Amino acid sequence: MTSVLRSSEIHPRLTGTALEELLHPERLLWTPTQLAGLTRTVTLELGARISEFLHFDADQRWWARLALTEGIELWVLTWLPGQGTKPHDHGGAAGSFTVLRGELSEEYRYPGGPIRQRTHVTGDGIGFGAGRAHQVTGAGTEAAASIHAYSPPLVPTREYASLADVPAEIPPLPGILR
């Protein structure tokens, strides 16, 4: 039995780093725990390197894809105080984020559950399953940055008017296997 090595796309500023070893291109589906471990490790081991190319824009949040394999996508996002997302889910993908710098406020909801609020500071991370919807906002007085991972990759998100509008069950988008 031969294994097929799957190719990876890595941000040009991160080629030749430990990131290539962390991506496990043979892994086609990552668990929330594995995703949280990845974003935490990338933050700790590559945070200084990633911080060199962060960009902050007063008009809109900034982001850059750090890596893409058949099983995962990895991003860095920046947030000025008050910048945030609309309420959204991840279309059936599991996810994770770890705060690289600053502070983020998150309101989140699991289908059928209450809306909850949590603050994440530098070094904090969380992994979550496919059924979670949330809204993330830059908090505090300083600019923030965070590392995000999703599996399976390239799954479109669904936006909601508010977290109260999240259905009792978040169905996967067409073409997404669970």
Euclidean distance between CA atoms 159 and 165, whole angstroms: 10
Residues 178, 175: Cα–Cα separation, whole Å? 10
**Per-domain boundaries in the chain:** 27-153
Q: Is 24 annotated as a binding residue?
A: no
Given a cut of 80, is residue 3 above it in pLDDT?
no
- Residue range 118-136: mean pLDDT, rounded: 95
CB 79 within 8 A of CB 55: no
Q: Where are the alpha helices (DSSP H) in the chain?
A: 19-22, 32-51
Q: How far apart are CA 87 and CA 164, in angstroms?
A: 9
**Domain spanning 27-153, CATH architecture:** Sandwich (2.60)
Tokens found for residue 152: 């399976």
The reply to whether 120 sits in an annotated binding site is no
State mean pLDDT over 49-75.
96
Decide if pLDDT at 46 tops 60.
Answer: yes
pTM of the model: 0.91
Q: Is 104 helix (H, G, I), strand (E, B) or coil?
A: strand
Residue 148 assigned as binding residue:
no
